[in-house]
Structure 1
Amino acid sequence: MRKPLRIGRAKFACLFIDLQEEHRHDERYLVEGYDAVLGNAARLQAAARRSDIPVFHCAYVVDPADGLRPFHPIGPDGRSAFSDKDDPLTAICPEVAPRPSERLLVKNEASAFGKSPLIGELREARVEWLAIAGVWTEACVDATVKDAINLGLHVLLVKDACGSGGTAMHQTGILNLANRLYGGAVVDTASACALLEGDMVEAWQIEGSVPLRYTFENAAKLYGEL
């Protein structure tokens, strides 16, 4: 259901997940519509910076020497099959790269929280609402959103500043999260920018239990209505 929402700037932070070069250059990990995702992420960053709202970034980088998750795929050369520390494509895309004053967290698991100090830094800054954008929607974004909720944060999920390997993967990933986004809201980039600048917007907020009963036939329609 769409309801009015306004968020105090002092309670806000933004997190950008894995906006790395491999998602537009590595044939195995291309994100559909990645240029649009990056453009929307850049708009969010600009709005946050204008309002002096903290901006956090994370990047997925795997160093086998640091230990791997069970069953992590390794190539014949002993390197990670994706996001290896020696792969220059793990660099964050320049149009959304961190500024020197912004925090960059490197992770080797799906969630941006995991073993990182992120939650401690957000609590120290008294952040209550975390705007989240990035890739892949059903993987690292999903894990991060769920951990943020479990840690007591309100999540502002910016649907068109997220992306995945295909439209169906992305849209159903957003719908899945929307069904369980208690305490949070789903918006598009324009509404998220307005919220970052202190305005009130109409935002989709969950009511009841699993309200979005999507099918192959209606998923795109429901996604468009968020």
Structure 2
Amino acid sequence: MTRTALLVMDLQQAIVGRVPGLDADFTPRLARAVAAARTAGVPVVHVVVGFRPGRPEAKSSPLFGALPEGAFTDGDPGAEIHPDVAPRPGEAVVTKKRVSAFAGSDLELVLRGEGVDHLVLAGLATSGVVLSTVRQAADLDYRLTVLADGCADRDAEVHRVLTEKVFPHQGEVTAVDAWIAGLG
């Protein structure tokens, strides 16, 4: 029996604010997906970037080590999950230390504990957390669905290539509204 979870990845204030050209309907569209998942009893897992004070785990990373001091630590308002998709009490919030949702996190333990074998992915950015998570999840034998309009990237062409040419080889690619329609 398939058990699905919706992963909402890197929808943090600082990240949402750094994706140029993000359409005004992006976070409301994801909010619809989150609401539909909750109604259907599909677990919603929020995946965020986070570091402890002093960010020792970020220093060896060319990407994360270049961030300003205090970025994505407790108290950083940019680390907050966007209010349109904020977690409800009881929903898992998984903190990762690298690009993939699995890297430096307990995501796999959370998913296995819930009996999840099908992941529905949404997040920022398509060429970052979504791509890295798709690859790692496929290697871990999860069934995958990517919500193409629930992802975005700084480069629209990269987003298009990934959602139209790369991700379909790993799993299903669909739109938020089509996924929601299939829940009922």
TM-score (norm 2): 0.87
* Partner in structure 2 of residue 171 of structure 1: 160
What is the distance in 2 between the residues matched to 1:174 and 1:91?
27
8 A contact 2:123–2:150 mirrored in 1: yes
* Partner in structure 1 of residue 130 of structure 2: 141
* Partner in structure 1 of residue 5 of structure 2: 13
What is the distance in 1 between the residues matched to 2:23 and 2:76?
19
8 A contact 2:134–2:167 mirrored in 1: no
> In the alignment, does 2:66 pair up with 1:40?
no
Going from structure 1 to structure 2, the CA distance change for 1:61 and 1:176 (only over 3 Å counts) comes to farther
Alignment of structure 1 residues 1-226 onto 2, 5 Å: 11-25=3-17, 29-63=18-52, 64-68=54-58, 69-72=60-63, 73-74=65-66, 79=69, 83=72, 85-181=74-170, 184-197=171-184
What is the distance in 1 between the residues matched to 2:49 and 2:113?
24
Going from structure 1 to structure 2, the CA distance change for 1:169 and 1:119 (only over 3 Å counts) comes to same
Distance apart, 1:160 and its partner CA: 0.3
Q: Which runs of 5+ in 1 are unaligned?
A: 1-7, 198-226
**What SS class does the counterpart of residue 58 from structure 1 fall into?**
strand
Offset from partner CA, 1:116-172 (integer Å, 9 cap, x none): 221122122221211000110001111011111111101110000001113223212
The alignment of Structure 1 onto Structure 2 pairs a total of residues equal to 181
Distance apart, 1:89 and its partner CA: 1.2
What is the distance in 1 between the residues matched to 2:41 and 2:168?
31
Distance apart, 1:106 and its partner CA: 1.4
8 A contact 1:23–1:34 mirrored in 2: no
Going from structure 1 to structure 2, the CA distance change for 1:31 and 1:155 (only over 3 Å counts) comes to farther
Backbone CA RMSD of aligned residues: 2.2
What is the distance in 2 between the residues matched to 1:176 and 1:108?
28
Distance apart, 1:37 and its partner CA: 2.2
**What SS class does the counterpart of residue 112 from structure 1 fall into?**
coil
8 A contact 2:48–2:93 mirrored in 1: yes
Structure having the higher Rg? 1
TM-score (norm 1): 0.72
8 A contact 2:125–2:153 mirrored in 1: yes
Distance apart, 1:71 and its partner CA: 2.7
